[in-house]
């Protein structure tokens, strides 16, 4: 019984860290739009444009890892597989 939630927890842990790392390992809050600076040639004004893409931040990382940890903890409350059921 424990094996299934433990496998899911491990998968969630690896997926969360992998997704966060691949998407830029951003150490701030998650972003739904990414700011980029541009310069207006004639006036010299530096202005911001936004790219509409998602960058996961520490909040997503903490949520995913926390959920995986909680799932792992719950798994230890479940009854382990009965060894007497196994053929001798």
Binding site for other proteins (CB under 8 A): 27-35, 40, 42-48, 50, 57-58
23 vs 79: CA distance, rounded Å: 38
The least distance separating other proteins from the CB of residue 52, rounded to whole angstroms, comes to: 10
88 vs 71: CA distance, rounded Å: 32
The least distance separating other proteins from the CB of residue 19, rounded to whole angstroms, comes to: 17
CB 83 within 8 A of CB 16: no
The least distance separating other proteins from the CB of residue 78, rounded to whole angstroms, comes to: 35
CB 68 within 8 A of CB 13: yes
Q: Which residue lies nearer to other proteins by CB, 46 or 77?
A: 46
Q: Which residue lies nearer to other proteins by CB, 2 or 26?
A: 26
């Amino acid at each position: 019984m424990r094996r299934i939630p433990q496998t899911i927890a491990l998968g969630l842990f690896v997926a969360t860290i992998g997704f966060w790392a691949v998407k830029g390992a951003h150490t701030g809050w998650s972003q739904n739009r990414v700011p980029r600076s541009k310069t207006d040639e004639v006036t010299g004004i530096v202005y911001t444009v936004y790219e509409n893409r998602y960058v996961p931040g520490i909040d997503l990382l903490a949520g995913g890892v926390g959920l995986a940890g909680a799932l792992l903890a719950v798994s230890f409350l479940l009854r382990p597989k009965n060894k007497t059921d196994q053929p001798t």
